[in-house]
Structure formats: structure tokens, C-alpha cells
Amino acid sequence: MVGLILAFIFLTPRDIFRDQPKPKNIVMVPAEHGGSVFYIEPDLLAGVGDKEWNRTVGNLVHSQAGGKNLQVTRVEPVFDEEKEIRGYMVYTRP
């Protein structure tokens, strides 16, 4: 019985349980024209007020960019097929 349980645990593909590695909360995405684009998970901005939102986004990008001074030019929400926010694309320039 123990052998069957262990076989089930170790031989069952990850896709069945949707057990995938979680990506980083902030990811730099390749961009064109000398700018940088960052993907930010919505959990990092949950509960942030309107007044603090731009400053928080700037601080998150600054921490991921290795201390480079990047100016945030725009932030676009990323939606899934149910129209729920899955993250934010943050466009920056030096």
C-alpha cells in the first residue's frame, strides 16, 4: 500500500495538480528603443492607495533595476480571459 502511495506521488505529472514553480514577483521583460519594461504581480500593489501607488511602483522598479534611476512612463494592467487583473506592465526610460 505504501508503495502505491509513493508511486502515485512521484510518478504523477505536475500538470494534474497544477503544481508549477511560482515566478518572481517583478520580472524585467525585453524592450525596444532603450527603455525597460517590468511585469509586476498584482499582489505587490494590493491595498496601496491612489496617492501612494505611483511612488510604490517606482520603488519596486528601482529595487529590481539594481539601483538604476528609471522614470516610469506608463503602467498598463494585464487582464486574463475573465477580465481580472493578472499583473501590470510598467514601461520605463532612463
- Name the residue range of residue 42's domain: 21-93
In this structure, is residue 87 part of a structural domain? yes
The tally of domains found in the chain comes to 1
Prediction pTM value = 0.65
In this structure, is residue 63 part of a structural domain? yes
In this structure, is residue 76 part of a structural domain? yes
**Residue 56 host element (H or E):** helix 50-64
| CB 92 within 8 Å of CB 38 | yes
In this structure, is residue 67 part of a structural domain? yes
pLDDT value, residue 93: 81
pLDDT value, residue 6: 92
pLDDT value, residue 5: 92
In this structure, is residue 28 part of a structural domain? yes
Mean pLDDT by groups of 10 residues along the chain of 94 residues: 91 74 71 80 82 84 78 87 89 84
In this structure, is residue 35 part of a structural domain? yes
Say how many C-beta atoms besides its own lie within 10 A of residue 37's C-beta: 16
pLDDT value, residue 3: 93
In this structure, is residue 72 part of a structural domain? yes
